[in-house]
Homo-oligomer: A and B are copies of this chain.
Amino acid sequence: MDRELFTPNRLFCPGPTPSPWHVKQAALDSDIYHRSKEFEAMVSECSTMLKPLFGTTTQPVILTSSGTGSLEAVVVNLTNSGDSVIVVVGGVFGGRWRKINEAFENKVTVVQVEYGLAPTAKQIEEAFNACPKPKAFFIQANETSTGARFDISTIAAQVRSLSPDTLMVVDAISSLGAHSLDMDKNGLDAVTAGSQKGFGVAPGLSFVALSNRSWKSLSSRSKFYFDLEKERKGQELGRTAWTPAVSLVQSLHASLTHITKIGVPQFAQHHERLAKACRAAVNALGLELFVEKNAVSNALTAIKVPANLDGSKILTTAKIRYGAIISGGQDELKGRIIRFSHLGFVSPFMLIEGLAALEFALADEGHRFNLGSGVTAAMQSLRSQL
């Protein structure tokens, strides 16, 4: 078939996620001056609509940076050089927490988690034995690089019981929207998110919510662009400290208005449905999940590449022949896993489209299965859940 006949760049990678037309279009609404009442109102409304996604009553701040900027902002604003911290490393993004903490001269104790697994209570306890009262505990809600979801509510309770003063810091960049989060109830002290994930907005904005006790114990480090206190004070009035990515804020406002209309719990439930349907497809295709059962994610499904197949070739075929961008493994997982994302504004039928493309690519690269079996299983799963 002629590749030109397939829609190119259908995103089934865990970020950037597909941006709905009305979200993209909002960025074109008009040129807008960021120091105007109308834009300040837009920023304020975004903050208000973000709160239920974070599960907090404190005000999340909006930064013009990619997600990594928000991670740096948290490290720089909550720790002082030389602080002891514990970092859960279960993939590339746990590794990023580690690298940022090391770059800013914190003493890092690592909870090394086998890729695809979740950290155990014992592993966490051992880390606190080695590092009894760390300033902060860093973890992902969803480790994007492996597709493993960590049980933040249980882990936060354990951290709190082991060391009540330790700040519980959660990178929820690829989780927010796909999984419900209750920051206040679970006593999370910092949560980060990014525009290009659950929000279906182009990359370039990130979000940080801090607990009241975090706001009261900010660091004395050198900071300027990522000075969260300055951002918070300004954003209470809708004024960002520096010129923000205006067009992305316009898109964000459209996205949040849409999510609010759907309902935050319903949006998470939608992700859960898609994830179930995707896992049903994987099973029907005779493939295995990479992530253990208790850590499967609603945001993306990680699939083991069978030993007789070349994972990179499958994904190249999906992209080049069929226009579907599906992710592979990073670093040591390169070629070994397929990461199929259903994060953000992926509709049930977009999921079907992506699975069909994956089936075509699997068939081309020599996987033996009945064509259509994955899609059929997903359709049956979706229909039974609706």
Contact = CB atoms under 8 A, between A and B. Distances in A.
Interface in A2-23: 8-11, 13, 15-16, 18-19
Given A243-B203, A247-B248, A225 B31 contact: no
Interface residues of A, number: 52
Q: Copies per complex?
A: 2
Which applies to chain A's interface (DSSP): helix, strand, loop or mixed? loop
A244 B66 contact: yes
B224 A99 contact: yes
Contact of A24 (B27, B64, B68, B244): B27
A293 to B, nearest CB: 29
A336 to B, nearest CB: 17
A67 B243 contact: yes
Contacts of A9: 30-33
A377 B100 CA distance: 57
Interface string A223-243: 111100000000000000111
A156 interface: no
A41 interface: no
Nearest to A203: B243
A65 interface: yes
A242 B33 contact: no
Sorted nearest first, the 6 A-B pairs with minimum C-beta distance are: A204-B245, A202-B247, A68-B242, A66-B243, A66-B242, A103-B224
